[in-house]
Amino acid sequence: MLNVVVGHSNDPDSLAAITEVIEQCQANLNEKLPQAGIVFVAIDFDYALILQTIVQTFPGIELIGGTSDAEISSLLQFQQDSLALMLFCSDEIEIHAGLGKNLSQDPILATKQAVEQAKSKIKHPAISQFCLTFPESLTVDGVAIVEGLKLALGKDIPIFGGLTADQWQFQKTYQFFQTEILNDAVPVLIFSGQLLFSQGVASGWHPIGKKGKVTNVDKNILYEINGKPALEFYHHYLGGLPPSGEYPLAVFESESDNFYMRAPSIHNPENGSITFLGEVPADAFVQIAQASRNEILGAAKTSITNALNNYPGKQPDAALFFSCAARRLLLGTRAIEEYQLAQEFLTAAIPGCGFYTHGEISPLNNGGETRLHHETFVTLLIGRH
C-alpha cells in the first residue's frame, strides 16, 4: 500500500496557507500518519512557521524541501507565490531523509553525509530504489552535487529532483530538512522496498548545425570548441547573436542521440569564453539547440507520455514534476499550459506535485546515469502496482 496526498495553497499569509494545506492533506489521509513529505515554498513565506507546523502536526515525519521559482500540483496546477506539500504513507516502503551541509566546501563529503544519514535509518534490509533531492543552486555547481550523490549511492540508484530557486533573483535559495532552514545544503529522501517507478525527460529543444568537440573547458567555463573560441561557434550559427537561454548547448557524452542541456549564463567577448550554469565535460560533443514555444510546451506532453509508457505496473499512485525556471521565463503566460498538458494524461485520482528549479536532476533514460539538466521537464511516476 502506498497512499500519497497533496495540499496546495496560494494564500499569501503563511499561517493561513499551511493551515489550508494541512487540512487538504488530512482530508485524504484517513487518519493515517505520513512517513515522509516534500514541501515547495515561494520565497516570501515564513519558512520556520510552515516547517514547525508540518512537523508538529505529523510527528516523526521525514521532511525535506526548498524554495522554488513556481509551484505545481494536481490541486491548483501552476502557481507562483504558493505553498505545495506532498505526503507519503506506506506500511511496506521505507522512506528516510538525510542532510549534508557546507556543500561549497566539500560536495563529496556533504553528499556522503546526507546519504549515510538517510541509509542509517533503514530498519529492514531492502534495495534502495531511488533518491529525491532539492539542494542548493547558487554556491556550488549542481554537477558536483549530482556526482557526489552518485558516488555515495552507487551509480545504479537513480536520483530525481531539482536545485532550489528564488524566483530569478539569484541571491539566496533555501533548503529544508525537518524544521531546519538552510543554505549551501543537500537534503535527500531515499525510497527503499517494493516500489515501482518510471521517468520521462524532455526539453523540446533540438540541435542545429554540426556537432563540435569541447577542446578547452574549466568546469563550467567553456573556452574552446573545435580548437576555436566557444563564442565563435555560437556566432557561426546564430549570426552574431550572443549566447542566451533561448539557445542552450546540447551536450552529447557518447555516440548516441541522447543529450542533456547546458544553459549559458555570461560570455567574455575578449577571450571568447562562455560560462554555463553547470559543468561541461571535456571532450564531449556539443550542438547549439533551439525551440519554439510550442515545442517547449510539447516537451511536457512527451515527458509524461514517456513516463507512462515506461511505468512497469498498472497505474502509478503519484506523479512528481520538475521543470526549469528558464522554461517558465521563456513561456511567460503560457507556463500554466505545461502542467495542463501533463495532467491530460493522468487520471484525476493520481496526486501530482512539483516545482520550477534552477536545474533538474534525473537520468537521461531508464537505466542510465543521473545527470543535471537545464531547460528540461522531468516526470517521475511512483506506485505499488
Dist. CA 381–CA 312, nearest whole Å:
10
Residue 108 class from Cβ within 10 Å (0-12 exposed, 13-18 middle, 19+ buried)?
middle
- Domain identity same for 68 and 185: yes
86 and 173 co-located in one domain: yes
Could you list the residue range(s) of the whole structural domain that residue 343 is in? Answer: 3-201+296-383
Residue type for position 280:
V
**Same structural domain, 138 and 234:** no
Of 289, 304, 338, which residue is a domain's last?
A: 289
| Digitized pLDDT (tens) for each residue of the chain, 385 residues in all | 899 999 999 999 999 999 999 999 999 998 899 999 999 999 999 999 999 999 999 999 999 999 999 999 999 999 999 999 999 999 889 999 999 999 999 999 999 999 999 999 998 877 779 999 999 999 999 999 999 999 999 989 999 999 999 998 999 999 999 999 999 999 999 999 989 999 999 999 999 999 999 999 999 999 999 999 999 999 999 988 889 999 999 999 877 788 999 999 999 999 999 999 999 999 999 999 999 999 999 999 999 999 999 999 999 999 999 999 999 999 999 999 998 888 888 887 899 999 999 999 999 988 889 999 999 999 999 998 8
Beta bridge partners of 287: 250
Please give the tally of structural domains in the chain: 2
Residue 257: per-residue pLDDT: 83
Q: What is the pLDDT of residue 349?
A: 83
Q: Are 295 and 341 in contact (CB under 8 A)?
A: no
**Which residue spans within 169-259 are E strands per DSSP?**
175-177, 180-182, 186-193, 196-202, 206-218, 221-225, 228-229, 249-252
Do residues 158 and 252 share a domain?
Answer: no
- Are 37 and 75 in the same domain? yes
Strand partners, 231: none
Exposure b/e, 31-55, CB count within 10 A at least 16 = b: ebebbbbbbbbbbebebeebbebbe
Same domain? For 196 and 210 the reply is no
Residues 245 and 306 in one domain: no
Assess whether 215 and 194 both reside in one domain.
Answer: no
Using CA atoms, how far residue 281 sits from 13, 63, 155, 170, in Å, is 44, 34, 18, 24
DSSP bridge partners of 187 = 99
Residue 143 and residue 85 share a domain:
yes
- Show which of 247, 267, 289 is a domain's final residue: 289
Distance CA 39, CA 63 (A): 8
Q: Are both 212 and 179 inside the same structural domain? A: no
Strand (E) or helix (H) holding 277: none
- DSSP one-letter code for 52: H
Q: Which of 246, 338, 334 is nearest to 299 (CA)?
A: 338
- Give the pLDDT confidence of 22-65 residue by residue, as tens digits: 999 999 998 899 999 999 999 999 999 999 999 999 999 999 99
Residues 144-184: pLDDT tens digits? 999 999 999 998 999 999 999 999 899 999 999 999 999 99
Instruction: Tell me the CATH number at 267.
Output: 2.40.10
> How deeply is 269 buried, as exposed, middle or buried, from its count of CB atoms within 10 A (0-12, 13-18, 19+)?
exposed
* Angstrom distances, CA of residue 131 to CA of 73, 115, 154, 376: 20, 9, 11, 19
Assess whether 273 and 326 both reside in one domain. Answer: no
| Of residues 257, 74, 69, the one with CA closest to residue 167 | 69
Q: Which residues contact 240 (CB under 8 A, 6 or more apart)?
A: none
Q: Look at residues 242, 261, 289 and tell me which one is the last residue of a structural domain.
A: 289
For residue 171, the cross-strand partners are none
Q: Specify the pLDDT at position 126.
A: 72
pTM of the entire structure? 0.97
Nearest residue to 134 via CA among 92, 109, 100, 170: 100
116-152 pLDDT, tens per residue? 999 999 988 777 799 999 999 999 999 999 999 999 9
- DSSP 8-state symbol, 334: G
Residues 57 and 119 in one domain: yes
